[in-house]
Amino acid sequence: MREKRELMAKTRLIDESSLKERLITIFTMWEVLLSIIFILIIIFFSTRTRYFLNWFNLMNATFQFSEKAIMALPMIFIIMCGDIDISIASIIALCAYAVGNAAAGGASIPTLILIALAVGTLAGFFNGFMVTFLEMPAIAVTLATQSIYRGIAIGMLGDQARTTFPKTYGFFGQEFIKGTTIPFEFVLYLVLMVIFGFILHKTTYGRRLYAIGNNAEVARFSGINVKRIRIINFTITGFISGLTAILLTSRVLSVRSNIATGWDMEIITLVVLGGVSITGGKGTVWGVFLGSLLVGYLKFGMGLMKISGTLMTIVIGSLLIIAVLLPRLLDLYKANRKLRKQHEMR
């Protein structure tokens, strides 16, 4: 009887220890932490202003971050492989210039879409070609093309603006899905998120991205065509930049040379905040989705409270530092727990 009680006590201790380990594992996952922070932000702003939790306001706020969130999706692939692209805002500006010029010449909406996608794809392919086949560092290449693409837009437009567009062109960036209060571009973002999530987490291509990010040399020796995948990543990013240019010009119905200025760092912030390791090989689309919502609604709430743009920038910068530092601390914590557990077992 005594042995039976001792056995039951040991079993209970093992179950409690196992439950504790599972809870620690769950609550140290980056996506779970982001979810908790997001819920706290919602609670905080909803208690500070009655306009925050209004459904129409919440949907209307997505106009301000959907385009950046869309651009964050291909950036996941870029950073996952250990690369970086800081020319995306300039590619958007170049595509917007091409769209504005074509629209001023009387081009139809399908033609404008094709022009934006073609220009963006070519610009992205050029970045990828320089990085992969000429083996130049991605940061150096995209820093150079950032100046080139933006310089073309500035040189051609100067201080002028293109404001002539087809009558229904504003649908993509301004309108809601018929019969709802859900913006078209937010729905487009959700669709693209599902597509990118499926590619990253459910396909061979996604597994190859993780492999390259963890060790490009090992991936190459295992038969993965690293150069081809990297150039595809940059080309996809250019294509989505063209799509984003369509959405942005449709929303503002104006093209100036400074369009999308500063977006590069904001988009990279969304990706890193979402848990994608800046060194590659780690991250999820779901995390970036949560990071995009968190930053978008944080800015929306701060705007409702009339907080200055300078303070917003400081807060977002602080979040970026936390996003880089905290995963490292969590990894150290998990490693120490594992060592302690192994020591106790001895």
Domains of the chain in start order, with CATH, are 35-337 (1.10.3470)
Q: What is the mean pLDDT of residues 38-48?
A: 92
**CA trace torsion 43, 47, 50, 53 (10° rounding):** 10
CA 173 to chain centre: 19
Residue 345 vs residue 183, higher pLDDT = 183
Residue-wise pLDDT for 124-170, tens only, equals 999 999 999 888 999 999 999 999 999 999 999 888 888 899 989 99
Residue 13, pLDDT score: 47
Percent of the chain scored above 90 by pLDDT?
67
Residue 322, pLDDT score: 78
Taking the whole predicted model, whether its pTM rises above 0.85 is answered as yes
Cβ neighbours around 259 below 10 Å, total: 25
Residue 319 vs residue 20, higher pLDDT = 319
Contact (Cβ atoms closer than 8 angstroms) between residue 128 and residue 250: no
Buried b (16+ CB within 10 A) or exposed e, 70-85: bbbbbbbbbbbbbbbb
**Tokens 């990010």 identify what position?**
213
SS3 assignment, position 2? helix
DSSP string for residues in 39-87? HHHHHHHHHH-TTTT-HHHHHHHGGGTHHHHHHHHHHHHHHHTT-----
SS3 assignment, position 262? coil
The answer to whether residue 184 scores a pLDDT higher than 90 is: yes
Cβ neighbours around 272 below 10 Å, total: 23
Tell me which DSSP letter residue 258 carries.
Answer: T
Residue-wise pLDDT for 203-236, tens only, equals 999 999 999 999 999 999 999 999 999 999 999 9
Residue 27, pLDDT score: 61
Residue-wise pLDDT for 294-331, tens only, equals 999 999 999 999 888 788 888 878 877 877 777 777 77
Residue 6, pLDDT score: 55
